[in-house]
Structure 1
Amino acid sequence: MPSMKTEAVPMISARDIRKHFHGTEVLKGVSLDIGKGEVIAVIGPSGSGKSTFLRCLNHLETIDAGSIVIEGETLATTDAAGHCRYAPEAEARRICRKMGMVFQQFNLFPHLTVLQNVIEAPLTVKGLSRDAIVPRAEELLRKVGLIAKCGAYPSQLSGGQKQRVAIARALAMEPDIMLFDEPTSALDPELTGEVLRTMRQLAEERMTMLVVTHEMSFARDVSTEVVFMDHGEIVEARPAAEMFADPRHPRTRCFLEHML
Structure 2
Amino acid sequence: MPDRTSKPAFALSLQDVHKRFGSNAVLRGVSLQVAPGEVIAILGSSGSGKSTLLRCINHLEAIESGSIEIAGETLVQNDTGGQARYPDDRSVRRICARTGMVFQHFNLFPHMTVLQNLIEAPMTVKGLGRGEIVPKAEELLRKVGLQDKRDAYPGRLSGGQKQRVAIARALAMEPEIMLFDEPTSALDPELTGEVLRTVRQLAAEHMTMLVVTHEMAFAREVAHRVLFMDEGVIVEDRPARDFFASPQHPRAQAFLQHML
* TM-score range normalised by the length of the shorter chain: over 0.9
**3-state SS, counterpart of residue 169 of structure 2:** helix
Deviation of 1:53 (Å)? 0.5
CA gap of 1:114–1:8, structure 2 versus 1, over 3 A, is closer
Question: 1:84 & 1:22 partners in 2: Cα distance?
Answer: 16
Aligned to 2:50: 50
Pairs within 5 Å for 1:108-187: 108-187=108-187
**3-state SS, counterpart of residue 54 of structure 1:** helix
**3-state SS, counterpart of residue 60 of structure 1:** coil
Counterpart amino acid of residue 223 in structure 1:
A
Aligned to 2:29: 29
**Is the deviation greater in 228-237 or in 74-83?**
74-83
Question: 1:152 & 1:258 partners in 2: Cα distance?
Answer: 40
TM-score scaled by length of structure 1: 0.96
For each residue in 1:212-239, what CA deviation from the matched residue of structure 2 results, as whole angstroms up to 9, or x when unmatched?
Answer: 1111111100000000001110010000
- Count of equivalent residues: 254
Aligned to 2:101: 101
Pairs within 5 Å for 1:207-222: 207-222=207-222
TM-score scaled by length of structure 2: 0.96
Pairs within 5 Å for 1:193-208: 193-208=193-208
Deviation of 1:88 (Å)? 1.2
Runs of 4+ displaced beyond 4 Å: none
Instruction: Tell me the percent identity.
Output: 68
For each residue in 1:179-218, what CA deviation from the matched residue of structure 2 results, as whole angstroms up to 9, or x when unmatched?
Answer: 0000001111110000000000000000000001111111
Deviation of 1:8 (Å)? 6.1
CA gap of 1:183–1:62, structure 2 versus 1, over 3 A, is same
**Is the deviation greater in 78-87 or in 53-62?**
78-87
Question: 2:121 & 2:48 partners in 1: Cα distance?
Answer: 32
**3-state SS, counterpart of residue 135 of structure 1:** helix
RMSD (CA atoms)? 0.9
Asked if 1 retains the 8 angstrom alpha-carbon contact of 2:36 and 2:208, the reply is yes
